[in-house]
Amino acid sequence: MLEGCTPWPERVAAEYRAQGYWRGESLGALLRTAAEKFGPRTALVYGQRRTTYAELDEWADRLAAGFAGHGIRPGERVVVQLPNLPDFVAICFALFRLGAVPVFALAAHRQTELRHLCELSGASVYIGPAVHRGFDHRELGQALRAELPHLRSLFVVGEPAGDVLPLPSADPLDLPEPDPADVAFFLLSGGTTALPKLIPRTHDDYAYQCRTAAEVCELTADDVYLTALPIEFNFAWGCPGVLGTLQAGGTVVVAESPTPDQCFPLIEREGVTVTALVPSLTQIWVEEAAWTASDLGSLRLVQVGGARMKPEFVRGIGPALGCTLQQVFGMAEGLLTFTRPRGSAEHVLDTLGLPISPGDELSIVDEGGAVLPPGSTGELLTRGPYTLRGYYRAPEHNARVFTADGFYRTGDLARLTERGELVIEGRIKEMIIRGGDKISAGEVEAYLVEHPAVATAAVIGVPDEFLGERTCAYVVPHGTPPTLNALREAMFRRGVAEYKLPDRLELVDALPLTPIGKVDKKALVAIRELAAIREERDEHQ
Ligand code: AMP
């Protein structure tokens, strides 16, 4: 296994193989098998462009040969940052076949995040769009290479420039199969204390996740999956998402953006049956569905997950979209729970369902780590056949977030029903979920204190009708107090993804501290709640 990764213990791995979870199939072979079975059927749709399984298979082979020709070798890390494009799929399969390891950067990331991802992964290659939403990724790539000597090659989808190359293509090569037990790609952690950690996902574990998720969703070759969310999100890529649909022989429709004006006509035109959304988007879809001229009748299953939803909202989703709602709890680290399509109303509306694999182990513990009796609320711990055993190159962090027996501490407060269904009650970790984006409070605080007008800062999530949460920065000024705009501007100029810029600023003389001298975030949340009540009262007077 790639150095810096934590393998499953040999005995556990043997058990996962014996149970048939891990089949020794690489992700590159997953597409090969699908192409043999479903060759002339449509694998991908993007605008008017349609790609069959056979074409996608050959595209990936030619790209793999092209990358090999540029000296990309097995085990090399490649930071891939692309918006929703069919090229993303072909590039990933090419790298899987080559045994090179894509690192899934988010399309919204900017120089700060990309520098970090390149450094942490030791990437030698960056692949981006030429220009996306007015931002020139060729210049970004060049700026990164100027800073990072190990970053050797830059490729773009779209117009190349100078030594930023177009995607290569060459006659297919006979490439050795990568070890299915090895890392296929890296997903990013939502991060709670700092910039994202890298989550190694192996061929074996991810192939299993996609296959099992597809089975729970009852996906067949007749299904048409709409990639509305960013394709690099675990949810859209493999829950069952793009990979789960392709292994089942279905069609993946790639949407440029998740808005109803883009997606609703695609649903009608392509007969989309399944899609995945985050709660804030679902809200927009539900509102627009009442007015749309598009026929959404082909939809049979809409998965919603990634953040908490208000119970009263959950009830309206299925009826408004005319399909079955599936609640999803998940994390890029692994564990997925889904409500079952044929489950009772109570199961679907009041819980986040059951783990997708019989191999998933869930445990609820108290603050001291002691296992709590059934029905209690505590921190959710998990381990299983597609849940990581360690972040990449993060031994100290791993020592904190994994128990000695390999359980991952999720930082989520949860309880299990009598039937084993998951109910999320809150969060211990300092993560803000703003729409579909996860923001690390610690990371934003670190940017804020770099500003000369900030002495100290603490960031919390505050409830928001539309996004679920927004970020609120509590700042103790140093000298002339900063404005919200000045702080946002400074972060923007530093090259931080826009969704991380604070939404609100509260200037304070001091931050509340716990008895051991740490910032008391619970107290801050209480202060904010009180202030919100006062603001609402003042508005009504
Ligand atoms: P990520 O790995 O970035 O997808 O983030 C995973 C985290 O998102 C989980 O640990 C939860 O805190 C949160 N999450 C995911 N799905 C749900 C859900 N259905 N309800 C509440 N929180 C969720």
What's the confidence (pLDDT) of residue 87?
A: 98
Q: To which residue do tokens 């679920």 refer? A: 468
Distance 446 CA to ligand 1 centre (A): 23
- Per-residue pLDDT tens over the stretch 371-401: 999 999 999 999 999 999 999 999 999 999 9
Residue 359 has a pLDDT of 98
- Which residue has the least CA distance to atom 4 on ligand 1? 331
Which amino acid residue places its CA nearest to atom 14 of ligand 1?
306
Q: What is the pLDDT of residue 193?
A: 66
26-34+51-179 and 434-539 share one CATH topology?
no
Residues 79 and 188: their CA atoms lie apart, in Å, by 11
Domain at 26-34+51-179: CATH code: 3.40.50.980
Report pLDDT for 192: 64
Rg (CA), the chain: 23
pLDDT at 540: 80
428 bridge partner residues: none
Query: SS3 of 187, please?
Result: strand
Burial class, 84, CB count within 10 angstroms (exposed 0-12 / middle 13-18 / buried 19+): buried
Class of domain 434-539: alpha beta
The alpha carbon of 424 and the centre of ligand 1 are apart by a number of angstroms equal to 9
pLDDT tens figures, 121-177 = 999 999 999 999 999 999 999 999 999 999 999 999 999 999 999 999 999 999 999
Residue 453 CB-half CA count within 13 A: 13
| Atom of ligand 1 lying closest to residue 190 CA | 3
User: What is the reported pLDDT for 191?
Assistant: 67
Q: How far is the CA of 131 from the centre of ligand 1 (A)?
A: 31
Domain boundaries, the chain: 26-34+51-179, 434-539
> Could you give phi then psi for residue 61, rounded to 5 degrees?
-60, -45
Q: What's the whole-model pTM score? A: 0.96
Ligand 1 pocket test target in 438, 443, 467, 469 with most atoms within 8 Å of CB: 438
Report pLDDT for 102. Answer: 98
- From atom 2 of ligand 1, which residue's Cα is the shortest distance away? 331
The residues of the chain scoring below 50 in pLDDT are none
Distance in angstroms (rounded) separating the CA atoms of residues 192 and 190: 7
In DSSP terms, which residues pair with 476 in a beta bridge? 456
